[in-house]
A and B are shown apart, each in its own frame.
Chain A
């Protein structure tokens, strides 16, 4: 674990050991529920969650000049820790996810500032160490750029669907990818969110503390707002239509195309017996092999793994994507025609 100063804990509160921090500061959770001065912090924590639920980033007291820093720092940390307590007490996973993401975005801002800080080398080094310790990405500074090994870059960039994050759209030289401070930090956003999320999920849920009930109840009713329903049109995406076309014409569909078609239809609930006849026209059709392979994909034979439909990105690589405007930036054929209501 990194040794952190007060202001670093305020910027990156998820790095602190919560229980230890409270103890060090000489407080117990119960005090926050009863002491009228400390109770203010529960309201602050609740607001911190509210802002996150709204998809915004919590505006920290650290940024303004109106509060003296020494007083602001612990309050920043407390409001974060109390927010986690409230979330755990409410048990609402949608809120936890939103909160983790918003907190990640907030930390991202500070990480970026620290990385780009040319006047204070120690800030710079701390940010680099946080990134290395938490996400095993080795960042090195090279003139105005931050360079990271291509293999490290790939492990994170594959989670992005925007084309600009593809390796081919990056400057690559001698085994390294060149990034700006903003891009370096953006690269680990998801992992930062996951990290904070898992810290919250793994935290112990305390029993209800007197004085916390109000905020917790408000959170429970708030989370109901986020329930969503989806409807699908049931139409096949163009890649699947294309694959069916090819097979109907008796032309050869490559193995990867057959894999996509079969996994797509299986995911849509069709049975092996319903799917098998589709392949009858294939030049190399063999009923026994087809059934064997379909059962394998369905997980009814072999390892028992049920294979999932490949992503749009993978299908593009395999020249199996025939996207139309109706695809509407989906990332997997299974999402085609799905609308949120």
Chain B
């Protein structure tokens, strides 16, 4: 990124942080958390402890970070090196990202940017202009991506509440600021479990590692009665709704499953898992020392804000998460994909000089699809 772009982003972020202290508040039990931030074009600064909103705002104004993070873990000494922090517990966190959903729409709005010559293209293997293989993919998620991600959030919430006895008021959903959602779970029986346990929980939620026996299929002499009932709870119930479709078809389909045998059942299971398993990023949930994007801060991959969704079904990130100013700026844009922000459509642009509002300019520059003219 060129100097002028960095300066422009920094200025725009600074203005946001200055004008929106109301959106950026410290989480509960502040002094037990670890904070961290990244500045534009620089490494991570972490192991910071912060007392209250005032201190946080001061840090933002002094450093104008590109990204701000806060631990989901609670420590006795959050500012000491990792092995001296004295880990106490950690909220459960989940990351749902449109890029992990294998959506067919994705290729329509993904481009490759060559790290060597900045050429923007649709190719995915090699730069057409300079043959470099160092390509970076950038996606401008569409409505379908956001809707599909929301659906995963709903699936996740259902499992959390019904299987794991989490109460609705202990679940908070945030738009991540880029391509998906972050879900927090507070005060659960899982606060103190470690990384390996969280990894197991992740497999449960995403329906991974199942064996046919769990759903009633046995290698030898399968028994009709051990297949799940249509109204059963938990994954057996979800399995039967997916595989049987309706109560009346259950019996017929069980006959088919038994006839087709054990190994074909395993394949069906893989298929079911792909369809109804919740697609969460396992690495995020099992990391108990992570610093996770701070609510209210800007995501430098897009310039949008990580913001809580109180009514998920109606939430439109391209309206609700765009807080940067309307002041216009001239940029050289090369965005083959059209996008919409604050109910205005932009693009496609093919290497053209245009004047757009700051929020749109920042979005394109963050996606490496424009530069300050």
Which residues of A does B touch, CB under 8 Å? 149-151, 154-155, 157-158, 163-164, 166-176, 250, 255-256, 281, 283-284, 302-303, 305, 313-314, 316-318
Q: Please measure, in the bound complex, the distance between the C-alpha atom of A283 and the C-alpha atom of B127, giving whole angstroms.
A: 12
Q: Complex: how many Å from CA A157 to CA B196?
A: 10
Smallest Cβ-Cβ distance to A251: which chain B residue: B133
Q: Does B104 contact A (CB under 8 A)?
A: no
Q: Is B353 an interface residue (CB 8 A)?
A: no
B234 pairs with A317, CB closer than 8 A: no
Q: A150-B189, A168-B214, A170-B214 are in contact. List 18 more A-B contacts (CB 8 A).
A: A151-B193, A151-B197, A157-B200, A166-B204, A166-B210, A167-B200, A167-B203, A168-B204, A168-B207, A168-B209, A169-B214, A174-B165, A175-B164, A175-B165, A283-B115, A283-B133, A303-B83, A317-B282
User: In whole angstroms, what is the CA distance A283 to B201 when docked?
Assistant: 32
Contacts of A155 in B (CB 8 A): 193, 197
Between A and B, 17 residue pairs with Cβ closer than 8 Å are A158-B196, A158-B200, A164-B213, A167-B200, A167-B204, A168-B203, A168-B204, A168-B214, A169-B209, A175-B166, A176-B165, A250-B134, A256-B283, A284-B115, A305-B83, A314-B199, A316-B209
* Chain B interface category by residue count: 35 or more
Contacts of A316 in B (CB 8 A): 208-209
- Cβ contacts under 8 Å, B192 to chain A: 151
Contact across chains for A149 and B189 when beta carbons are under 8 A apart: yes
Chain B residues, Cβ within 8 Å of A284: 115, 134
Q: Which of A166, A174, A256 contacts B209 (CB 8 A)?
A: A166
Which A residues are in CB contact (< 8 Å) with B210?
Answer: 166, 168-169
Cβ contacts under 8 Å, A283 to chain B: 115, 133-136
CB pair A173–B233 under 8 Å, yes or no, is yes
Q: Are B208 and A168 in contact (CB under 8 A)?
A: yes
Nearest to B193 among chain A residues (CB) is: A151
CA distance A133 to B286 in the complex (A): 28
Contacts of A149 in B (CB 8 A): 189
Taking the closest CB of chain B, its distance from the CB of A213, in whole angstroms, is 46
* Chain B stretch 134-189: residues in CB contact (< 8 A) with chain A: 134-136, 162-166, 189
Contacts of B200 in A (CB 8 A): 154, 157-158, 166-167
Residue from B133, B134, B200 whose CB has the most chain A CB atoms within 10 Å: B200
Q: Which residues of B contact A256 (CB under 8 A)?
A: 283
Q: Are A168 and B235 interface neighbours, CB within 8 A?
A: yes
Return the chain A residue nearest B115 by Cβ: A283
Q: Which residues of the partner chain B approach A281 to less than 8 Å between Cβ atoms?
A: 133
Q: Across the interface, do A172 and B204 meet the contact criterion of CB distance under 8 Å? A: yes
- List 7 A-B pairs, minimum CB-CB distance, nearest first: A175-B165, A154-B197, A151-B189, A167-B204, A169-B214, A250-B133, A158-B196
From B83, B133, B201, B282, contact of A167 by CB (8 A): B201
Q: Is the Cβ of B163 less than 8 Å from the Cβ of A317? A: no
Q: How far is the CA of A221 from the CA of B282 in the complex (A)?
A: 50
Q: Is B82 an interface residue (CB 8 A)?
A: yes
Chain B residues with Cβ below 8 Å from A168 are 203-204, 207-210, 214, 235
Within the complex, the shortest CB–CB distance from A143 to chain B, in Å, comes to 15
Identity of the chain B residue whose Cβ is nearest the Cβ of A249 in the assembled complex: B133
A174 to chain B, nearest CB (A): 5
CB atoms of B283 and A318 under 8 A apart = yes
Given A149-B189, A151-B190, A171-B234, CB of A163 within 8 Å of CB of B209: yes
Give Cα A167 to B283, complex, Å: 18
Given the complex of chains A and B, what is the CA–CA distance between A255 and B290 in angstroms?
14
Interface pair B201/A154, CB less than 8 Å apart: yes
In the complex, B211 has a CB within 8 A of chain A: yes
Question: Taking CB as reference atom, which chain B residue is nearest A313?
Answer: B199
Q: Contact at B164–A317, with CB atoms within 8 Å?
A: no
Which residue of A154, A173, A314, A317 contacts B193 across the interface (Cβ within 8 Å)?
A154
With an 8 A cutoff between CB atoms, is B66 at the interface? no
**Residue numbers in A under 8 Å from B213 (CB-CB):** 164, 169
CB distance from B27 to the nearest CB of A (A): 22
Distance in angstroms between the alpha carbons of A173 and B83 in the assembled complex:
36
